[in-house]
Amino acid sequence: MKLHKLTPVAAAIAAALSIGAAQAQVSDNVIKIGVLSDMSSLYTDLAGAGSVIAARMAVDDSGIEKRGYKVEVVSADHQNKPDVGSAIARQWYDQDKVDVIVDVPNSGVALAVNQITKEKGKVFLANGPASSDLTGKACSPNTVHWTYDTWMLANGTGSAIVKSGGDSWFFLTSDYAFGHALERDTEAVVLKNGGKVLGKVRHPLNNQDFSSFLLQAQQSKAKIVGLANAGGDTTNSIKQAAEFGIVKGGQNLAGLLVFITDVHALGLQTAQGLILTNTFYWDQNEASRAFSKRFAALDKGIHPSMVHAGVYASTLHYLKAIEALKSDDGTKVVAKMKETPTDDPLFGKGTIRVDGRKIHPAYLVEVKKPSESKGPWDYYKVRATIPADQAFRPLKDGECPLVK
């Protein structure tokens, strides 16, 4: 058996796939938007191709091309690997003249892209990643963290659950930057509200079987099993928790980061009653419904997640700043974005703080029972709105060096 031959072959194929996605060089008078996302693995549905569609829609709706600007949208797959993501980001900035990278689900990759963007003086519109470190100790004058973050999730879902009696927790945590940040921020909220943490277990990213971990959660006798994971990992945890009778045994699940695409994948039968926090729901108002209808028509019927909405809104605001400045100099554009109040059809009026944090309200929602839902994608009822000034971490607590 010549198994040792296998590794270089597989590596060569992987390398070819990752490089193939980046596009050829273009002249300098073009605004080039690079959507760096998970195009093939567990975060594809909540970001992925939908993010490319959302960016394209933002370009069209901005009308910037009618005013003489040339805009190009390119995309690539970071495969959830920080090294692959970094290589693409460098190539995009150095050779392909990409001006801005958007999306980047996966905090590990996003923290790497954040650093590279700062070095190169370009722009990073972070919509996919969750880690609150992006506007904390890793904050950058070139990054805007738009959609959501781990502090907001912890503060929304975590405190709502502790206040309704769920005061002992066991964490099931995805073992990388995002899971660690989400666990840390949620633990702080639990402790602050008088709850306690009985245990935690870290599972590898993109895990299939959660039964061992769920069994440990069961034996901890914690009232709440907090899922500090995302995408396919969350859906598999919830599905298998139902199988092992976690909820029937008196424990409750807290999905700390659940996207609408996850709820769709689980089906209401399994997902009903879950409480979660998000910043965008397609059925919020006339404007969000109109956007979602157009989006779904382009993305195989998938309704936009908050990440897709964030990609759209942040790209729109970015293009506005470029037009106002008549320059695509990254650092200046981000400064302009922070200076200009935001106003878009999906998140309404808002601001961007000096640490790069975009400020808007968050919504605590509950997943409907099958009997309450009028059909596919009618999934949430809003339990509470967390006002914009309370939804995100106070500026002074983030340890961001840009805050003086």
Residues in contact with other proteins by the rule CB under 8 A: 1-3, 5-6, 9-10, 13, 38, 40-46, 48, 175, 201-204, 206-209, 211-213, 215-216, 218-219, 231-232, 235-236, 239-240, 243-245, 249, 261-262, 264-267, 269-270, 300, 302
CA distance 121 to 119: 6
- The least distance separating other proteins from the CB of residue 248, rounded to whole angstroms, comes to 8
Looking at the Cβ atoms of 155 and 207, the one nearer to other proteins is 207
Looking at the Cβ atoms of 243 and 399, the one nearer to other proteins is 243
- The least distance separating other proteins from the CB of residue 307, rounded to whole angstroms, comes to 13
Looking at the Cβ atoms of 44 and 114, the one nearer to other proteins is 44
- The least distance separating other proteins from the CB of residue 180, rounded to whole angstroms, comes to 11
Looking at the Cβ atoms of 248 and 326, the one nearer to other proteins is 248
- The least distance separating other proteins from the CB of residue 286, rounded to whole angstroms, comes to 27
- The least distance separating other proteins from the CB of residue 48, rounded to whole angstroms, comes to 7
Looking at the Cβ atoms of 2 and 67, the one nearer to other proteins is 2
What DSSP designation does 357 have?
B
CA distance 118 to 116: 5
Distances in Å between the alpha carbon of 337 and those of 70, 126, 133, 331?
20, 14, 20, 10
Looking at the Cβ atoms of 213 and 363, the one nearer to other proteins is 213
CA distance 14 to 245: 40
Looking at the Cβ atoms of 206 and 284, the one nearer to other proteins is 206
CA distance 194 to 294: 45
Looking at the Cβ atoms of 264 and 368, the one nearer to other proteins is 264
CA distance 161 to 64: 45
CA distance 5 to 197: 47
Looking at the Cβ atoms of 13 and 287, the one nearer to other proteins is 13
Task: Compute how many other C-beta atoms are within 10 angstroms of the C-beta atom of residue 187.
Answer: 21
CA distance 322 to 216: 52
Q: Under 8 Å CB-to-CB from 54, ≥6 apart: which residues?
A: 295, 304, 308, 309, 311, 312, 315
- The least distance separating other proteins from the CB of residue 262, rounded to whole angstroms, comes to 6
Kind and range of the H or E element at 65? none
354: exposed, middle or buried (C-beta count within 10 Å: 0-12, 13-18, 19+)? middle
Beta strands in 17-108 (DSSP E): 30-37, 70-77, 100-103
- The least distance separating other proteins from the CB of residue 300, rounded to whole angstroms, comes to 7
- The least distance separating other proteins from the CB of residue 224, rounded to whole angstroms, comes to 18
- The least distance separating other proteins from the CB of residue 317, rounded to whole angstroms, comes to 28
In the numeric block, the tokens 């008088």 are attached to 194
Is the CB of residue 200 less than 8 Å from the CB of residue 217? no
The sign of the CA dihedral 53, 57, 60, 64 is negative
CA distance 300 to 151: 32
